[in-house]
Amino acid sequence: MKYSRKLATASIVLLSLLMVISGFFSATRAETAKTAEAATTSEWKAGAATAKITPSRPMPMSGYAGRKDNPSEGTEQDLFAKALAIEDADGNRVVIVTTDLIGILATLREDVATKVEAKYGLPPQALLMNASHTHCGPSYGRDDTRDYFEFLSGEIVRIIGEAIDTMEPANLSYASAKCGFAMNRRTPTPQGFRNHPNPEGVVDHTVPVLRVDDAEGNLKTVLFGYSCHNTTMGFMKWLGDYAGYAQEYFEADHPGVTAMFMNNCSGDQNPYPRSMLYFAQRHGRTLATAVEAALETNQSAFFHQRKLSGPMKSIFETVELEFTEESKREPFSYPVQVLQFGDGLSLIALGTEVVVDYSLRLKKELGDRGPAIWVAGYSNVYSGYIPSKRVLEEGGYEAVSRPWKPELEERIISKAHALFDEVNR
């Protein structure tokens, strides 16, 4: 008995020693990796720029019908638009724009895309615009907010130019982590599906992260995503919500780094708990910490850590989605875009509010083809919910926003497959 206790103590000491030694070696390996990477020639160029887009006057807010046209009552947190310009060794460029807005109205994308093509020669298929879907941002598509629309569009065009002009040699990599505060919000009841937290419902807790380092190995920009409505709050002040806090905290922890949030497939996902400002802040901290965790997986070269190489490709097409005959509506031209980073990452950007089924399905169907699959929603157009066939048949809040025909899921998925195949030939 005494002997075995001694043996156990000795084993623990030995084990601790081994852990310290292996920790030392893994730290050394990480530093070596950084030095080796810095010594190689950077095949990418990248630049980022930020604009404050908080309205300078009280304005109607977007997101909750209950507010009617009542104007905003001050600023809890500034709103931002951010641009990341990336160029590969062949001079192919893409620009990713993220915004603290409810959505990207087609009129905004059209205006920005036209201007940046004329000014900077950026082809429209190389421009990805995403909205965080904060419900504490301005309603900017109205006749009485035309002044703000012009300001917003002008600022986005300006930072795209600034991001392109400030591009410098860079290294790109992709990693991911998980974050748990998003919960499915569709609960089955005898009266049908209700908008209520459902811990048994489907979710996608992945936090995909595109990391940009300069040629010396210093972190410059992180672009990260999450599939969750950005709706902790619904008060009358400007607020980026959890996504705003995640970016604010990450940037405070990494001075000089630009943190950009891209909302993913959040149509049926809510942050819980909600309705208190400190929950928005806590969710923001949780998400910022998940981004840190994703970066930590970049220490060495395992399968889930990808250093990205070119060439970069971009493709943007629309697919016609039809409404029921009774609705007598014209078909909707729905945008699907793919940004391809060599054989390492496919960023599939879908329009407006897609439910989480789209992310899960595309990752399942394309996940073994090579590149990591990142499915963003809220991109390039904003026009209500895009249910899956399942959600449409089940009914409930996300199913009834538009009178879609159930073929919409197959049409969107088929288009995403076709574009993916095109850029992965």
> Three-class SS of residue 283?
helix
Q: Is 405 exposed, middle or buried (0-12, 13-18, 19+ CB in 10 A)?
A: middle
Q: Closer to Zn ion at the Cβ: 100 or 353?
A: 353
> Three-class SS of residue 144?
helix
Residue type (1 letter), 363: K
CA 200 to chain centre: 24
The least distance separating Zn ion from the CB of residue 351, rounded to whole angstroms, comes to: 13
Q: Closer to Zn ion at the Cβ: 228 or 259?
A: 228
The least distance separating Zn ion from the CB of residue 126, rounded to whole angstroms, comes to: 27
The least distance separating Zn ion from the CB of residue 124, rounded to whole angstroms, comes to: 25
Is 294 in contact with 280 (CB distance < 8 Å)? no
Do the strands 182-189 and 269-271 form a parallel or antiparallel pair, or are they unpaired?
Answer: antiparallel
Q: Closer to Zn ion at the Cβ: 204 or 353?
A: 353
Which long-range CB contacts under 8 A does 65-68 form with residues at least 24 apart? 67/236
Q: Closer to Zn ion at the Cβ: 353 or 357?
A: 353
The least distance separating Zn ion from the CB of residue 229, rounded to whole angstroms, comes to: 5
The least distance separating Zn ion from the CB of residue 108, rounded to whole angstroms, comes to: 17
CA 230 to chain centre: 11
The least distance separating Zn ion from the CB of residue 402, rounded to whole angstroms, comes to: 13
Binding mask 298-337 for Zn ion (x = CB under 5 A): ----------------------------------------
Binding mask 334-353 for Zn ion (x = CB under 5 A): -------------------x
Q: Closer to Zn ion at the Cβ: 346 or 359?
A: 359
What single-letter DSSP state applies at residue 267?
A: T
The least distance separating Zn ion from the CB of residue 353, rounded to whole angstroms, comes to: 5
Tell me the Ramachandran region of residue 241: left when phi exceeds 0, alpha when psi lies from -120 to 50, beta otherwise.
left
Tell me the Ramachandran region of residue 183: left when phi exceeds 0, alpha when psi lies from -120 to 50, beta otherwise.
beta
Q: Closer to Zn ion at the Cβ: 72 or 263?
A: 263
Binding mask 56-75 for Zn ion (x = CB under 5 A): --------------------
Q: Closer to Zn ion at the Cβ: 85 or 376?
A: 376
Q: Closer to Zn ion at the Cβ: 188 or 384?
A: 384
The least distance separating Zn ion from the CB of residue 264, rounded to whole angstroms, comes to: 13
Is 266 in contact with 228 (CB distance < 8 Å)? yes
Task: Please report, as residue ranges, which positions from 153 to 182 form the binding site for Zn ion (by CB under 5 A).
Answer: none
- Nearest of 140, 132, 82, 139 to residue 111 by alpha carbon: 140
Which residues make Cβ contacts (< 8 Å) with residue 214, sequence separation at least 6? 42, 168, 169, 170, 171, 220
The least distance separating Zn ion from the CB of residue 352, rounded to whole angstroms, comes to: 9
The least distance separating Zn ion from the CB of residue 312, rounded to whole angstroms, comes to: 31
Task: Please report, as residue ranges, which positions from 351 to 390 form the binding site for Zn ion (by CB under 5 A).
Answer: 353
Q: Is 265 exposed, middle or buried (0-12, 13-18, 19+ CB in 10 A)?
A: buried
Q: Closer to Zn ion at the Cβ: 183 or 294?
A: 183
What single-letter DSSP state applies at residue 72?
A: P
Is 355 in contact with 386 (CB distance < 8 Å)? yes
HSE (side-chain half, CA atoms, 13 Å) at 247: 29
The least distance separating Zn ion from the CB of residue 335, rounded to whole angstroms, comes to: 18
Task: Please report, as residue ranges, which positions from 207 to 226 form the binding site for Zn ion (by CB under 5 A).
Answer: none
Number of residues binding to Zn ion, judged by CB under 5 A: 1
Q: Nearest residue by C-beta to Zn ion? A: 353
Q: Closer to Zn ion at the Cβ: 83 or 228?
A: 228
Which residues make Cβ contacts (< 8 Å) with residue 368, sequence separation at least 6? none
Q: Closer to Zn ion at the Cβ: 134 or 173?
A: 134
Which residues make Cβ contacts (< 8 Å) with residue 61, sequence separation at least 6? 67, 70, 71, 72, 135, 136, 137, 138, 139, 236
Residue ranges in contact with Zn ion by CB under 5 A: 353
